[in-house]
Amino acid sequence: MPLESQARLFRGTPRNLARLARALQRGELVAVPTETVYGLAGDALNPAACRKIFKAKGRPTNDPLIVHIHTLAQLDVLAERNDAVERVARAFWPGPLTIVLPKKAVVPDLVTSGRPSVAVRMPGHRLFRELLKLCGRPLAAPSANPFGYISPTSAVHVRDSLGGKIDYILDGGEADIGLESTILDLRDPRRPAILRPGAISAKEIARVLKRPVAGSGKTNTRGAAIAPGMLSKHYSPRSPIQLHRRLDAKHVRALPADEVALFLFKPAAAKTTAAQNVCWLAERGDLREAGRKLFAALRALDDGRWKRIHAELAPGSDGFALAINDRLTRASAKR
């Protein structure tokens, strides 16, 4: 059930952005829109503000935070650059790519879970970028939801799940991508690796770096993670999820009335489409659209009606298919 709402939604007017920037400068938290999902932002160089983030989310301190920047000059304050960073940043920033690099001493250990590396992103959402500029500080901003639950892709999602724990939500509309950023490990530029798949694929990054990019797909169950989104159980609704390589009319006919089928794309069979316990993410074979709608669909289905959610995996092994399947696999993992 949604929390009793205390947070206010603010439109992205110049006056509101200035007010929210001052709140961040004072060490308060602001939920912010990004092109990926909504984040819960606080001053990344202020340990007290970062502790508020962990407390509001119920997030364990062994799960590090991503630090968001407005300019490359801010990156130099936070981390050690290398030539690979230059090429990747020119190609993909601002955008849905997070880069893990050796950190500088100014970054609090709380932000990095005590590790000597920091995850940094330059977001592309216009309102968040304006807020970063006005604030003048790098902002730590994990997803604005209770730890482990489905990531929010709208301001209403944030208000429903964290509204009683924060005061400010910047409403920037629905997220364009709807899945968290790709995380790229560039601590050693000779061995680039994807730590979390997202909208920017390993193939795209490899073309820019002119070298292979490994896709680890590793999970973390103990100790401090290198980057967020690496836990085996994550992005999870309360209703259990069962995964299927493909769903079809036969599956739907066999479903109990209190279980629901989540197709990637609109089923062709008219009877299947008309079933009360069938829904889909995209009308046709557009994985980008399916990814954008995935978290919102899981939230809508997680309302107590369904004993189990049957979800269809995406075909393919790169780009949005890999990102969708990563989120569904973690959402379906047993506790």
Q: How far is 280 from 299, CA to CA, in rounded Å? A: 13
Query: pLDDT (tens digit, 9 = 90+) per residue, 97-142?
Result: 999 999 999 999 999 999 999 999 999 999 999 999 999 999 999 9
> What span, in angstroms and rounded, lies between the C-alpha atoms of 119 and 104?
12
pLDDT at 222: 55
Could you tell me if 138 and 92 are in contact, meaning their C-beta atoms sit under 8 angstroms apart? no
Overall CATH class of domain 8-215: alpha beta
Note the pTM of the prediction, 2 decimals: 0.94
- Spatial separation of the C-alpha atoms in residues 217 and 258, rounded to whole Å: 33
pLDDT by residue (tens digit) across 265-318? 999 887 888 889 999 999 989 999 999 999 999 999 999 999 999 999 999 887
- Which pLDDT value is given to residue 274? 86
**CA dihedral over 148, 289, 119, 121, signed as positive or negative:** negative
Residue with tokens 């050796």: 102
Instruction: Give the three-class secondary structure for 233.
Output: coil
Mean pLDDT, all residues of the chain = 93
Question: Running along the chain, 335 residues long, what does each successive block of 10 average in pLDDT?
Answer: 70 98 98 98 98 97 96 97 95 98 98 97 98 98 96 97 96 98 96 96 96 75 71 89 95 94 92 90 94 97 95 91 96 83
Give the span between the Cα atoms of 244 and 308, in whole angstroms. Answer: 13
DSSP string, 119-151: EEE----HHHHHHHHHH-S-EE--BSSSTTSPP
Dmax (CA) for the chain in angstroms is: 61
Domain ranges of the chain: 8-215, 241-332
